[in-house]
Amino acid sequence: MNQYMKIRNQHCPNAKCKLYGQLEKNNIQIHSKKNKRFRCSLCYKTWSENFNEIYFCLKSSIELLNRAKTFLDLGLSVRQIARRIDVSPSTIQKWKLKF
């Protein structure tokens, strides 16, 4: 996907900005190509391309998270899931809140 298409799909996430949530208002700029960050030219708020995704800022693999989500959907307890995928119960609890 080219840079223009990525910018078209972005909107300012700042609730105080006049153009909050509005697409294609020509206020979105590329802030960093390396880190895939954007910036609103009106309020100067910066954000990552995928800041609103479930997997954003998680250090575990996507496969591990998907396994935990499957176990949660099956109705297993947090401790049972933690034992099966070898992570702490507090980690499972944090993931559960994200899901």
Give the residue carrying structure tokens 């153009």.
Answer: 19
Q: Which regions of the chain are under pLDDT 50? A: 1, 4
In total, how many domains does the chain have? Answer: 2
Residues 40 and 11 grouped into a single domain: yes
User: Which residues span the domain enclosing 42?
Assistant: 3-48
Alpha carbon 72 to its chain centroid, in Å, reads 20
> Residue 56: inside a domain, yes or no?
no
The predicted structure's pLDDT at residue 84: 92
* Three-state SS at 17: coil
> Residue 81: inside a domain, yes or no?
yes
- The pTM (predicted TM-score) of the whole model is 0.49
pLDDT in tens, 39-63: 888 898 887 776 666 666 667 777 8
> Residue 54: inside a domain, yes or no?
no
> Residue 19: inside a domain, yes or no?
yes
Using CA atoms, how far residue 1 sits from 7, 8, 9, in Å, is: 10, 11, 11
> Residue 69: inside a domain, yes or no?
yes
Residues 43 and 66 grouped into a single domain: no
